[in-house]
């Protein structure tokens, strides 16, 4: 227990992130703890399919390769590492790390957290895992671990665990824990906090060619400063931190297993170059239930993309639709979707820019229904359809797709255990102080701008956005960078206006949440991703670019803002 600030850095935001980031963070400046986040909803399905082929699989093997290069360096510098790379087999990865350390001759105390795996309680699922909090990690660190491996914990738990261990926080320290959750949420996606995937990247030419990874200086009261190592690429400002705060969140209450964060309490301020202070964060008791992510196989999927070139694009599309419908009539797949993407332009100077793409996607519980039948029907049209017939690639035999679902279990029904480096098993008590999650009434809106001349231009000229997936739903966080722009945005971007701008959402439940401290609205669209990212139900299956589509839509924007 200490009052000295804790410097926590991130070296991985997803399974497949920059392999050299661990070394960069170890050598770029001072840091106490490094966190590696490898798990997303889709990643759990990937690991589950790996485990079907090989029972010894189920964790992020790339972490071991990174560690082989850097374990000695981390030991020399006294930097602790916390990672959820354990995936479905945290004990298996912990053992693999021990074997690696023995081979390298480096004395490392490795602990792991378990109890999240509830697959046995959910017949038919490939993987069912509860989202655990940070106190198992804290127990491992307090027990002397140099490296902690977890399975499915919340992304922010990788930061709240070290902070709780460092400062001696307990489950009742809601405000402090909430501050650490905010810091963890900003760090969890790596370089998204330092200019990566940032709406206004064009204002910093060249700055995000290779952004550095972020770190947080966390203080005993739960406040923090988000920054990065000196001399690394990218940048940290109120905008980049705001964008990441809005990513994959919903309303003013952001619930987790340890604490519910009041996002409407967060205050951000520039604290110098590449330094953003985060303060004022309030926390409340967590909900009584833990979220469980269920992954199962949904069936089989196949697709073929027909290329339509030149004149009569619509007529060509109609013809091939009719022909394919006739060919598949004897045994039609359970789900058939056509999308015509008009990438063509008149009097084009290249064949590619004279062409449109007609995409056919089929899904069915049977692989046969989406495989041979589709392939045969598409190939047989080669000399019998529209002029210029060709496809981007012939359809294959069909591939399995996954479905993500959410369930909830009482906190006390999960055996959360910290397995220390010496083999001792320390049970982690569930939260005793809980509160059922309720919506926060919408905050008072600012005074609207006075009437004046407007110009019809893209929303993105005055607002930033970031979007992402949560199961079958998506969120789009939209923020203004000036007070006047916020006065306009808060009144203009209603749920109804969002439906007008994003026709895909016209018949879906859309909820708008107002976050005045961030000058932002967070829009949640339920069901837009169907059965989740793994089902690949839409062109952008994880809604990563939904916010950029919104920013490209034209509105009547007050000229005073332009």
The CATH number of residue 385's host domain is: 3.30.70
pLDDT tens readout for residues 535-547: 887 889 999 999 9
Give residues with Cβ within 8 angstroms of 351, minimum separation 6: 309
DSSP code at position 397: S
260 and 180 share a domain?
A: yes
Evaluate whether residue 448 is within a structural domain. no
d(CA 337, CA 342): 16
462 and 363 share a domain?
A: no
Angle at 303 between CA 297 and CA 305, to 5 degrees: 160
216 and 326 share a domain?
A: no
Evaluate whether residue 149 is within a structural domain. yes
Evaluate whether residue 40 is within a structural domain. yes
d(CA 336, CA 333): 7
User: What are the angstrom distances between the C-alpha of 93 and each of 62, 150, 365?
Assistant: 11, 9, 34
Evaluate whether residue 438 is within a structural domain. no
How many structural domains does the chain have?
A: 3
232 and 309 share a domain?
A: no
**pLDDT for res 2:** 55
pLDDT tens readout for residues 356-398: 999 999 999 999 889 988 989 999 999 999 999 999 998 889 9
Evaluate whether residue 501 is within a structural domain. yes
d(CA 226, CA 230): 13
d(CA 512, CA 89): 38
155 and 225 share a domain?
A: yes
Evaluate whether residue 440 is within a structural domain. no
pLDDT tens readout for residues 439-487: 899 889 999 999 999 999 999 999 999 999 988 999 999 999 999 999 9
Q: Report pTM.
A: 0.95
pLDDT tens readout for residues 94-143: 999 999 999 999 999 999 999 999 999 999 999 999 999 999 999 999 99
Angle at 231 between CA 229 and CA 232, to 5 degrees: 65
pLDDT tens readout for residues 230-261: 999 999 999 999 999 999 999 999 999 999 99
Share the mean pLDDT of the chain: 96
249 and 234 share a domain?
A: yes
392 and 422 share a domain?
A: no
pLDDT tens readout for residues 165-195: 999 999 999 999 999 999 999 999 999 999 9
Radius of gyration of the chain (CA): 25
412 and 544 share a domain?
A: no
Q: How would residue 33 be classed by pLDDT, with cut points 50, 70 and 90?
A: very high
- Whether residue 350 contacts residue 299, with contact meaning beta carbons closer than 8 Å, is answered with no
- Whether residue 475 contacts residue 498, with contact meaning beta carbons closer than 8 Å, is answered with no
Does the structure show a pLDDT above 80 at 1? no
d(CA 129, CA 88): 8
128 and 76 share a domain?
A: yes
212 and 321 share a domain?
A: no
Evaluate whether residue 117 is within a structural domain. yes
d(CA 345, CA 417): 60
Evaluate whether residue 441 is within a structural domain. no
Question: 387, 402, 417: which is the final residue of a domain?
Answer: 402
User: Which token pair is 174?
Assistant: 């809601």
d(CA 195, CA 213): 10
Domain extent for 481: 454-561
Q: What is the Cβ-side half-sphere exposure of residue 550, based on CA atoms within 13 angstroms?
A: 32
* Cβ density class 114-128: b for 16+ within 10 Å, e for less: bbbbbbeebeebbbb
384 and 309 share a domain?
A: yes
383 and 481 share a domain?
A: no
d(CA 37, CA 412): 26
User: Which token pair is 192?
Assistant: 């998204």
């Amino acid at each position: 227990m200490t009052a000295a600030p804790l410097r926590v850095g991130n070296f991985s935001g997803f399974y497949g992130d920059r392999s050299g980031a661990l070394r960069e963070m170890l050598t770029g400046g001072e840091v106490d703890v490094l966190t590696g986040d490898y798990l997303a909803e889709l990643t759990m399905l990937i690991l589950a399919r790996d485990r079907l082929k090989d029972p010894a699989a189920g964790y992020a093997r790339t972490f071991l390769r990174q560690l082989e290069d850097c374990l000695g360096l981390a030991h020399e510098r006294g930097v602790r590492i916390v990672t959820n790379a354990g995936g479905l087999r945290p004990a298996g990865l912990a053992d693999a790390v021990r074997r690696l350390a023995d081979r390298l001759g480096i004395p490392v105390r490795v602990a792991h957290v378990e109890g999240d795996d509830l697959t046995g309680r959910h017949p038919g699922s490939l993987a069912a895992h509860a989202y655990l909090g940070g106190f198992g990690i804290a127990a491992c660190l307090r027990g002397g671990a140099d490296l902690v491996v977890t399975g499915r914990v919340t992304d922010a738990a990788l930061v709240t665990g070290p902070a709780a261990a460092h400062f001696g926080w307990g489950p009742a320290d809601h405000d402090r824990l909430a501050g650490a959750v905010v810091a963890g949420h900003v760090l969890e996606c790596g370089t998204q906090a330092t200019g990566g995937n940032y709406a206004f990247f064009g204002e910093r030419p060249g700055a995000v060619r290779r952004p550095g990874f972020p770190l947080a200086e966390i203080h005993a009261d739960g406040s923090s400063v988000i920054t990065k190592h000196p001399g690394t690429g990218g940048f940290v400002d109120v905008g980049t931190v705001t964008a990441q705060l809005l990513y994959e969140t919903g309303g003013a209450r952001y619930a987790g297993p340890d604490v519910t964060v009041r996002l409407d309490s967060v205050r951000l301020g520039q604290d110098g170059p590449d330094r953003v202070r985060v303060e004022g964060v309030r926390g409340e008791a967590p909900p009584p239930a833990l979220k469980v992510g269920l992954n199962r196989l949904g069936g089989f999927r196949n697709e073929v993309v027909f290329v339509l070139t030149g004149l009569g694009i619509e007529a060509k599309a109609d013809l091939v639709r009719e022909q394919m419908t006739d060919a598949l009539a004897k045994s039609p797949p359970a789900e058939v979707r056509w999308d015509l993407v008009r990438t063509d332009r008149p009097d084009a100077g290249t064949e590619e820019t004279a062409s449109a793409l007609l995409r056919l996607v089929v899904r069915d519980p049977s692989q046969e229904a989406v495989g041979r039948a589709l392939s045969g029907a598409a190939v047989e049209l080669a000399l019998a359809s529209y002029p210029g017939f060709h496809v981007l690639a012939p359809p294959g035999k069909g591939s399995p797709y996954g479905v993500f679902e959410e369930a909830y279990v009482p906190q006390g029904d999960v055996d959360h255990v910290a397995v220390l480096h010496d083999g001792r098993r320390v049970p982690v008590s569930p939260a005793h102080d809980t509160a059922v999650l309720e919506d926060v009434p919408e905050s008072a809106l600012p005074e609207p701008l006075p009437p004046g001349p407007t110009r019809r231009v893209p929303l993105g000229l005055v607002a930033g956005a970031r979007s992402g997936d949560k199961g079958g739903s998506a969120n789009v966080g939209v923020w203004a960078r000036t007070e006047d722009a916020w006065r306009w945005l808060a009144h203009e971007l209603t749920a109804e206006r969002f439906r007008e701008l994003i026709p895909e959402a016209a018949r879906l439940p859309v909820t708008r949440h107002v976050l005045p401290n961030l000058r932002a609205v967070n829009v949640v669209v339920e069901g837009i991703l169907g059965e989740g990212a793994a089902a690949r139900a839409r062109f952008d299956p994880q809604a990563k670019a939904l916010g950029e589509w919104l920013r490209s839509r034209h509105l009547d924007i007050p000229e005073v803002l332009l």
